[in-house]
Structure 1
């Protein structure tokens, strides 16, 4: 059968091609690492049995019509799948899968803590301070930060990644854990002593709030002005989930008013733009207490290869008439 990969996986996800070819499938690979045009995506997906796209590819009704009736599976190369219209896929009888794995969980969990440590110890500020020639000798009050140990971490979304963050928080840093989710997670309570509380209670009590929810209509602007007002003035917000989960306009106003101590974002509301526009002449990158990384929480060699393996194995399973390993579930 015929599989189309909408990006060139050479150097970071080559195992996907090997797995697919070993299973006897013909594989067509887009020549560029990323950035396929809409026109090429629709044209090159036509008549395929399977398509392996990136999260930047919009998979909607137009796509399914263009791909045609042979299409059996879209194996999204991402843990999130907000780029895919699941209802349109269902209407066309197409299975959609994503790429969760323990390796991806570990990568995002580690990145979350890299951001937290950067905020707590003011590492980015210290780097700019030192490189700017401002260091003139040790001073007892110079760039004072704070320890993570003993602080309270509030996790919103206690799924696979949220649970990995909980593991690091307790075993690595001796933090206290609160979590909020649509339903209780007995495993995270038993393993890490996490306490299940309402979202509002979590926001009021946490020193760090870390977001690990998918982007759904119900989670868009999950953190907005009302929620930011509930947070401690000494608290930090970390988002490695999806940009629109946070209302950036409200966040900018909260930062300007010093309602919270700072934020660390790996994703952005109008991505790839870091700021949707200049709101009240405010930009995220203008704040010293804001850390920005360009959607790289899962960007490790290990995670990218694991994602490739999961995507390819989903395709192999579905094309063989079996159930997918990781169907996309809301």
Structure 2
């Protein structure tokens, strides 16, 4: 089998390379010439998989290790019988922990407690629902907005986007990028929404850059609107607005979902789909790829927000990623270089917290930490 893989996807030689001819390429520059004689294509979100790429190719199987699929022309693949697989939910834990880290950092800097805020979650799929669950476990009040899901499940306390704009202290976005239809998300945060937002609100975008009109956001910030903004995704990435970066509180290079664990889950989902499709009977357990715990800490106090912030920083310091983007954003290719050379960030489960087990410290498990009994 001839398999072409984005060079930034881990474990591909270990999973696919034993009996196949492996070709690795820089994902953003994969061309029609590269895929012409290839059977299997495995990509990330930086590769546009469409007619221009696949015409006259021998591709039978396309896999993307991402949860989002707006870079894939699924209609074209279906029309020409190309089997397609993706990895929904693989990065949910990583993105949720990124958002939680950003919120804890802002709370510590600005002197508030998350439990005193109302958080509006826009998009309640894999990521949004997990974020709601963890915030609820920590005692934070949330408002849920997802019109397509609300049509299917009327039993949840859904709220309109207009309600979130007026009532939520914090808005965090976890939607796919949809340009047309009943529920488009392209520029759902436009100049009208931004002007309607009360001052001192917090905006967080970790889904797709064009969900927020970046030019409109820059305009209201330049005009003195007081908003706290966390952007991991940008409308014109890998290029981005340097003036906008100068206004946001936290800016990162589309790495919210980048943990060792999420990358491993993603490629394992594609590998399993590949084995099923080609009737390959091999078994590789996820645990054999994931590294073990990296830290051990003893905790004797009750779990409050101050202690949680300290535990989170033991695993991941979001401010470091903000510093890296500000340092390299003005360098040609800097955005992609950060992503390509991104440090081996781990999830909270890699921190083994040794503590006494009681109803109070069960919260650590509910928040995703690995808890050991003293």
Structure 1 residues not aligned, in runs of 5+: 123-143, 322-330
Q: CA deviation at 1:72?
A: 2.0
Q: Which has the higher contact order (CA 8 A, sep 6+)?
A: 1
Query: Which residue is equivalent to 1:325?
Result: none
Match of 2:84, SS state, is strand
Judge conservation of contact 1:205–1:231 (CA < 8 Å) in 2.
Answer: no
Mapping 1:278-289, distance limit 5 Å: 283-287=243-247, 289=248
Q: Please say which of residues 254-263 and 301-310 is displaced more in the overlay.
A: 254-263
User: How far, CA to CA, are the matches of 1:79 and 1:54 in structure 2?
Assistant: 10
Residue-by-residue CA offset, 1:278-311 (whole Å, 9 max, x unaligned): 7xxxx12222x52101111111111111111112
Aligned residue for 1:48, secondary structure, equals coil
Mind listing any 5+ residue stretches in structure 2 that lack a counterpart? Answer: 281-374
Contact 2:186 2:211 in 1 (8 A): yes
Aligned pair 1:303/2:269, yes or no?
no
Map Cα deviations across residues 205-233 of structure 1 (whole Å, 9 max, x no partner).
10000000011212111111112223221
TM-score by length of 2: 0.68
Contact 2:120 2:172 (C-alpha < 8 Å) held by counterparts: yes
Superposition pairs of residues 134-149 of structure 1, within 5 angstroms: 144-149=110-115
Pick the aligned partner of 1:88 from 76, 85, 106.
76
Seen in structure 2, the aligned counterparts of structure 1 residues 186 and 42 have a Cα distance that, compared at 3 Å, is closer
Alignment size in residue pairs? 277
Please give the TM-score of this superposition, normalised by the length of structure 1: 0.76
Specify which of 196, 201, 226 is matched with residue 158 of structure 2: 196
Cα offset, 1:185, TM superposition = 6.0
Are 1:20 and 1:316, in contact at CA under 8 Å, matched by a contact in 2? no
- Aligned with residue 176 of structure 2, among 195, 198, 214: 214
Where 1:121 maps in the other structure, the secondary structure is helix
How far the C-alpha of 1:37 sits from its partner, in A, is 2.8
Which residue number in structure 2 is paired with residue 110 of structure 1?
97
CA RMSD of aligned residues (A): 2.6
Kept in 2: contact 1:241–1:267 (CA 8 A): yes
Q: In the alignment, is residue 168 of structure 1 matched against residue 134 of structure 2?
A: yes
